[in-house]
Amino acid sequence: MFSLMKWMFNFWVTQIVSAFTKGIGVIGTGISSPSALLVNTLDSISQKHLAPFLSDIVLKPSPTHWALQRSGKHITGAELVFPLLTQEEPTGGAFWGDQLLNTSVIDSIQPANQIWRAYYQSAAIPTLDVILASGGASAIDVVKAKMQICAASLLPKLARANWGIAPQNTSIDIDNIPAWIATQGNTIAGVNRATVTAWNPNAAVSNGSGSLTIPNAEKLYQQLVYGYDEPDTLVLNNYDYGNFKTQFTAQQQYTPSIIRATDNFADKEPIQTSIRYHFRFNNCVVLADQFVVAGTGYMWNSKYQWMNYHQKGYYLIRPWLMASNQEVVSTRVVVVEQLTNCNPRTAGTITNLT
């Protein structure tokens, strides 16, 4: 009987406490901010509720990096070499009868050489922290959390490298997008564009001032069209993207000015007065990327621009190692990559977006 009464007492206490504390959330750190009176008591006896995930309030995603990662080529080799046809060979044309034909040997190919670039991100944890955070009600193990932070911290470094943004703009970083398609007369992949002018990107289109206009976007687009080979990517800063997108809103299928009463559309769905996510300009998917510096738009053909990943250096995770005189273990993630554009004339920029 006593055992039954004790069980019932504990049961009801548990129910009362559960009902009272339901929905309160974390009790402990910062308890003096809400109107709690028993601060020390609650700090001493209450168990914190930890969310089973990390909240990222610092890092920025890059749609450009996602696209390059998704379509990247996995290859091996000490260097990246591809042949460039630098001129039309003049040994041809009309002829008649027994006319002597030109059989001169023309060396019309020049090699473009790129060097692999390596990136890393380290993670280090004191072993005592691993011990202390290994039990109890911890929602995320400290090792798991640090590895998530390690992976997340590597991504913006790779995204900045794509666009040549400091501090990922050194001589040992990859050949970035602005260097490939927004710069004339530079040397890239070992080829001097001041000498081999065909290796230059297409000339930039100046927008003059204001938001990117459809005629100027069309002008650059047509500069990059070669027959049926058309550019398929246009990347803008978020601000420039928003200004460009608003010009297409009036062309949506459903706007208040063209909805007829007989359509009964308003009774079924809310009116869509903007374009969700990205949209297409001709054959170009238009993307907003916060890593792009405001004022310039980049257009290219992804058939000729891609990221190379070394098969033996593709996001390697090194074993955890301990320093000889410290109770600290560390690891790192390593990726070996390089950005290639084998036909930069199919890419270009729009400048002076203000």
What CATH number is given to the structural domain containing 137?
A: 3.90.1690
**Stretch 185-213: mean pLDDT:** 93
Domain total of the chain? 2
Does a structural domain hold residue 188? yes
CB atoms within 10 A of CB 138: 15
Task: Identify which has the larger pLDDT, 268 or 42.
Answer: 42
**Where does the pLDDT of residue 56 fall: very low under 50, low under 70, confident under 90, or very high at 90 and above?**
confident
Residues 149 and 287 reside in one and the same domain: yes
Tens digit of each residue's pLDDT (9 = 90 or more) over 17-35: 343 334 333 434 555 555 6
Tokens of 182: 């927004």
Residues 259 and 135 reside in one and the same domain: yes
Cis bond upstream, residue 344 (ω within 30): no
Q: What percent of the chain has pLDDT over 90?
A: 62
Does a structural domain hold residue 51? no
Model confidence at 211: pLDDT above 70: yes
At residue 168's C-alpha, the angle toward residues 166 and 169, to 5°, is 75
**Stretch 32-60: mean pLDDT:** 74
Residues 238 and 212 reside in one and the same domain: yes
Tokens of 224: 């990059």
Does a structural domain hold residue 97? no
Query: What pLDDT is stored for residue 320 in this prediction?
Result: 94
- Rounded Cα distance between 199 and 6, Å, is 86
Does a structural domain hold residue 54? no
Query: What pLDDT is stored for residue 25 in this prediction?
Result: 39
Cis bond upstream, residue 156 (ω within 30): no
Residues 214 and 289 reside in one and the same domain: yes
Residues 125 and 240 reside in one and the same domain: yes
The mean predicted confidence, pLDDT, of the chain is 84
**Where does the pLDDT of residue 99 fall: very low under 50, low under 70, confident under 90, or very high at 90 and above?**
very high
Contact predicate 291/277, CB 8 Å: no
At residue 276's C-alpha, the angle toward residues 271 and 282, to 5°, is 115
Count of all residues that appear for the chain in the document:
354
Contact predicate 176/169, CB 8 Å: yes
Query: What pLDDT is stored for residue 86 in this prediction?
Result: 86
Among 26-40, 212-226, 269-283, the minimum mean pLDDT is found in: 26-40
Query: What pLDDT is stored for residue 78 in this prediction?
Result: 87
Does a structural domain hold residue 221? yes
Contact predicate 332/118, CB 8 Å: no
Domain that holds residue 22: 2-45
- For residue 296, with 0-12 CB atoms within 10 Å meaning exposed, 13-18 middle and 19 or more buried, which class applies? buried
Residues 23 and 72 reside in one and the same domain: no
Among 26-35, 127-136, 194-203, the minimum mean pLDDT is found in: 26-35
Q: What is the pTM of this model?
A: 0.81
Residues 71 and 17 reside in one and the same domain: no
- For residue 286, with 0-12 CB atoms within 10 Å meaning exposed, 13-18 middle and 19 or more buried, which class applies? buried
Task: Give CA separation, 296 vs 161, 211, 212, 353, in Å.
Answer: 17, 11, 9, 6
Does a structural domain hold residue 283? yes
Task: Identify which has the larger pLDDT, 39 or 59.
Answer: 59
- Rounded Cα distance between 354 and 289, Å, is 17
140 CB-near residues (< 8 Å, 6+ apart): 50, 52, 53, 54
Residues 20 and 156 reside in one and the same domain: no
Query: What pLDDT is stored for residue 263 in this prediction?
Result: 53
Model confidence at 11: pLDDT above 80: no
Query: What pLDDT is stored for residue 257 in this prediction?
Result: 45
Query: What pLDDT is stored for residue 168 in this prediction?
Result: 97
Model confidence at 44: pLDDT above 60: yes
Residues 76 and 134 reside in one and the same domain: yes
Among 35-44, 188-197, 278-287, 289-298, the minimum mean pLDDT is found in: 35-44
Query: What pLDDT is stored for residue 139 in this prediction?
Result: 61
Q: What percent of the chain has pLDDT over 70?
A: 79
**Stretch 346-353: mean pLDDT:** 96
Residues 35 and 147 reside in one and the same domain: no
Nearest to 340 by CA among 182, 175, 229: 175
Does a structural domain hold residue 163? yes
Task: Of 6-10, 141-145, 231-235, 280-284, give the range with the top mean pLDDT.
Answer: 231-235
Does a structural domain hold residue 171? yes
93 CB-near residues (< 8 Å, 6+ apart): none
Cα-trace Rg, the chain: 30
Model confidence at 298: pLDDT above 60: yes
Residues 225 and 322 reside in one and the same domain: yes
**Stretch 160-172: mean pLDDT:** 97
Residues 225 and 314 reside in one and the same domain: yes
